[in-house]
Amino acid sequence: MSLKTNLKGRLRNTSLPKSHGLMPVFEAVVNSIHSIEEKGNYEKGKIVLRVNRVTQGSLDLDTKLLPPIAGFDIIDNGCGFDDANFKSFETLDSDHKIEKGCRGVGRLMWLKVFDLVEVESHFLDKDVALKKRVFRFDDKHGVHAEKVVVHSTNDTGTIIKLLGFDDSFRAKVPSASLLIANQLLEHVLWYFVRDIGVPHIFVEDMGECIDLTSLYEQHMHASACHEKITVQEQLFELTHIKFRASVNKKHQLVLCAANRLVKEESIQGKIPGLYGKIADESGEFIYTCYVSSEYLNEHVRSERTSFDICEDVEDMLDEITFKHIREAVLKSSKHYLQDVLTKTVSAGKKRVEDFINHHAPRYRPIANYISEELLIVDPEKSDKELELHLHAQWYEVERQLVHEGHDVLQPQNNDHVEEYKERLQAYLQKAEDIKRSDLANYVSHRKVIIDLLQKSITKLDDGKYAREDMIHELIMPMRKESSELFLDSCNLWLVDERLAFHNYLASDKTIKAMPITGTVSTKEPDLLSLRVFDNPILVNDKQNFPLASITVIEIKRPMRNDMREGEDKDPIDQALSYLERIREGKVTTKNGRPIPGNGDIPGYCYVLCDLTESMHRRCRRANLRITSDGMGYFGYNEPSHAYIEIISFDQLVKSAEERNRAFFDKLGFPIC
C-alpha cells in the first residue's frame, strides 16, 4: 500500500493519547537498537537521543522554566537505511523485521506528534561501498526529496530529526531531561534485563548527558529474576525487578509486547503487605513485574498503546482476559515477595485489630466472616480509610446474609435434615453476629456524640466558647421537623432517654411553621416535642389523643452570664412562654384536626446552659432546688403546670456517660 496514496487516511484512523507524546521518540530509539542488532556489534553500538529546545532568543530570559522542546534527534551507528530498509519504510504494515515485533506502522506515530521528519543515513550497498541516503517525511508528501550519494564517512549510521513538536502533545509530556531518560529506560528496560545486552544509550540536553546504563544501575536494587508461567495453556514470561526505593514509582505490573512497554497497572495493595516501600536485607525497594508473551504480541494494537484483550469475560472460559493474566501474575509475585512481606503483613493485621478494639468494636462480631487477606491492610492507612474499608466488608457480609437467608428459608426436597440444620444454625449465628454489630455501632455512635459534646463546650483557641448552634446540631439538626429526619439523626437521649422516641418534633422553627400547632407566633423555641399516648384499644395507631405532654428544650451558649428578668433574657421564662403559646393557640395537627383539652397538657421544660452567677440567680428566683451534685436545678412550676430542669453542660456530659457506661465498658471504650 503506497504511503503517498493512503498516508492521510491512515493518520486520521491512527489513535495516540496525548499523554503518549514521547512514545514515537522512544520507538525511534527501539528502531536504532534493531539497526545495531542487524549490524551485529553490541559492544560498539551507540544511540544518542538529543533534546532540541526553542532558542533562548525568543524567550523571557528571566524565566526559571526550561525552554520548550522543539524536537528530537536520534543518532545511532547501526546498519542504516539500505535499500531493503528504505523499501520497508515506504510500505505501511510492512512485514520486514516482523520477527522483532515490528508492525510497520511506527513511522505513523512520528507524524501524529511532529510536523516533519528528516533522515540522513549512511549504509553499505551491495558493492560494499558506503553511501548516504537523505529524505524527508511529512503528512503532505509522504516520503520525498530522497537522494542517494557515495559518501566517504568512516562508518554506517543514521540521524533522524523529529521537527515541529505538536503543542497539544508537548503540554502533556515531561520536559526535564532526567524524566525523559527515566521514561525511556522504562520503555526499553527489557533490552537491559535480557541476556544479550543493550547498546550504549545516552540522552543529551543543553550540555547535560545522561547514560541510561548508569541510570539503570542506579535504579536497580537487585538483579532481575525471570520466571515462566502458563495461563490457559499460553506461556507467559515474568521478569521480577526490584527498583531502589529512591525511584518515584509505585509497585506495578507491566504488560509488554515486542519487547516494548505497553500497559502499566498499579498493584499497590493488591497483594497483602505490598503497600508502600518494602525492604529486604539490602534495603528498601519498589517492585515491578514485567510480563511478556507471544499471546500479548499477537493481541497488541498497532499503535502499541493497548491490547485487544477483554478485562473479564465470564461466559467465554477459553478466552484469556486481563483478569486471568493479572491473577496468575499476582500469585507468582506474591510467592516471589513472600519473605519480605511477612513483617508488613503482621503490621497490617495488628493495625486492624487495634482499630477494632479501640475505635470500631462494631466490626468485632463480623471479623470471622471476612477473609484473612481483607483483614490485612496498609499499616499507614488512616482511620477514615480503614473505617471505609471495614464498612465495605461489613456490607458484603450483610449482603451474603440476605442471599443465604432466601436459600435457608426455602429448603429443597433433597436437603438432608442434618445438613439443613447445620446450614440453618450457621445462618442464625451469622444473623446474630450482624445484630451484635448493629448494637455495637449504636453504642459507638453514642460515644462519639458524647465526645463531640465534651469538645464543643470547652474554650476555643481564641479564648471564646462555641455558639449554642454547635451544641444544638449535636442534639438535633436545626430547622428540621421529625418528618424530615431519620431517628438516628437526633440525639435527644443526651437530655433524657425518654426523648429518644417521639411522635412529633420541630427544631428552631417558628411555631407558626410547625404544622401541628397552627399558631401565628414567631417566637422560636430551640426544641419542641409533642408526645402522644398510644390508644389502649388501637395500640398501633399513634395519631390518637390525648397528648401525653409537651417538651421544650432551650439551649444557651456556654458560659453565658447575662441572664436577667424578662422573656428575652431569662431562659426559664422563655421555655415557659413557649409552652403557654402552644396551649393557648388554636392548635391543630398537620392534618387539620383539633387537639382536645390542650390547656391541661403537662409540660416539661429543659434548659441546657452553664451555671454562671446570673443563671444561679434566675434559678433561685424561680424557686428551683439545686441538685445534690450542685450541677443543676429542678422544680415544678404550679401556675404553668410544668416540670423544669436546668442541666449544666458538665452534668449533661456526666449523666450521658454514666447512663451508657456499662455499654462503653462492654465494648472497651475508655471514659475520660
pLDDT digits 0-9 by tens, 199-217:
999 999 999 999 999 999 8
* Alpha helices for 40-123 (secondary structure H): 83-89, 106-113
Nearest in space to 321 (alpha carbons), one of 398, 273, 255: 255
The pLDDT of residue 472 is 78
Query: Would you place residue 541 in the very low, low, confident or very high pLDDT band (cuts 50, 70, 90)?
Result: very low
Pairwise CA distance, residues 469 & 455, whole Å: 14
Name the DSSP letter for residue 291. E
The angle at the Cα of 610, spanning 606 to 614, to the nearest 5 degrees, equals 100
The pLDDT of residue 361 is 79
pLDDT digits 0-9 by tens, 28-81:
999 999 899 888 877 789 999 999 999 865 444 444 678 999 999 999 999 999
The pLDDT of residue 533 is 47
Name the DSSP letter for residue 67. P
Pairwise CA distance, residues 147 & 67, whole Å: 34
pLDDT digits 0-9 by tens, 332-384:
999 999 988 988 888 888 998 888 888 877 788 778 888 888 888 888 888 88
Pairwise CA distance, residues 359 & 668, whole Å: 9
Pairwise CA distance, residues 271 & 285, whole Å: 16
Q: Name the range with the highest mean pLDDT among 19-33, 495-509, 651-665.
A: 19-33
C-alpha cell at 508: 428552631
The pLDDT of residue 62 is 46
| Virtual torsion, Cα 248, 251, 254, 260, nearest 10 deg | 30
- Is the pLDDT confidence value at 535 over 50? no
By the 8 A CB rule, do 230 and 236 touch? Answer: yes
C-alpha cell at 164: 515541529
The pLDDT of residue 11 is 75
The pLDDT of residue 326 is 93
- Is the pLDDT confidence value at 407 over 90? no
Who has greater pLDDT, 135 or 94?
135
- Is the pLDDT confidence value at 122 over 70? yes
Tell me how crowded residue 147 is: count the other CB atoms within 10 A of its CB: 9
The pLDDT of residue 467 is 67
Pairwise CA distance, residues 211 & 204, whole Å: 9
Query: Would you place residue 83 in the very low, low, confident or very high pLDDT band (cuts 50, 70, 90)?
Result: confident
pLDDT digits 0-9 by tens, 434-447:
777 777 777 777 88
Q: Count Cα atoms within 13 angstroms, Cβ side, for 106.
A: 24
- Across the chain, mean pLDDT equals 80
Query: Would you place residue 139 in the very low, low, confident or very high pLDDT band (cuts 50, 70, 90)?
Result: confident
From residue 608, give the alpha-carbon distance in Å to each of 76, 442, 458, 471, 505: 84, 24, 15, 10, 18
From the number of C-beta atoms within 10 Å of its C-beta (0-12, 13-18, 19+), residue 364 rates as middle
- Is the pLDDT confidence value at 296 over 90? yes
User: Is the CATH number 3.90.1300.10 carried by domain 3-216?
Assistant: no
| Virtual torsion, Cα 91, 93, 94, 97, nearest 10 deg | 140
- Residues above pLDDT 90, as percent of the chain: 29
Tell me how crowded residue 402 is: count the other CB atoms within 10 A of its CB: 9
* Cα dihedral 395, 398, 402, 408 sign: positive
For 103, phi then psi, to 5°, come to -105, -5
Query: Would you place residue 1 in the very low, low, confident or very high pLDDT band (cuts 50, 70, 90)?
Result: very low
Name the DSSP letter for residue 29. H
By the 8 A CB rule, do 148 and 124 touch? Answer: no
- What's the whole-number mean pLDDT along residues 221-231? 89
Tell me how crowded residue 337 is: count the other CB atoms within 10 A of its CB: 21
Pairwise CA distance, residues 623 & 80, whole Å: 107
Nearest in space to 242 (alpha carbons), one of 333, 163, 120: 333
| Domain ranges for the chain | 3-216, 220-347, 359-456, 468-665
From residue 130, give the alpha-carbon distance in Å to each of 15, 155, 156, 157, 254: 38, 8, 7, 11, 41
- Is the pLDDT confidence value at 534 over 60? no
By the 8 A CB rule, do 549 and 533 touch? Answer: no
Pairwise CA distance, residues 378 & 348, whole Å: 5
Helix (H, G, I), strand (E, B) or coil at 175: coil
What distance lies between CA 493 and its chain's CA centroid?
36
The pLDDT of residue 59 is 46
Pairing verdict, β 603-609 and 234-244:
unpaired
**Least trusted range by pLDDT, from 87-101, 591-605, 654-668:** 87-101
pLDDT digits 0-9 by tens, 235-292:
999 999 998 876 567 899 999 887 778 888 999 889 988 888 788 888 888 899 999 9
The pLDDT of residue 489 is 62
By the 8 A CB rule, do 136 and 121 touch? Answer: no
- Residues above pLDDT 70, as percent of the chain: 79
pLDDT digits 0-9 by tens, 596-642:
556 777 888 899 999 999 999 999 999 999 999 999 999 999 988 89
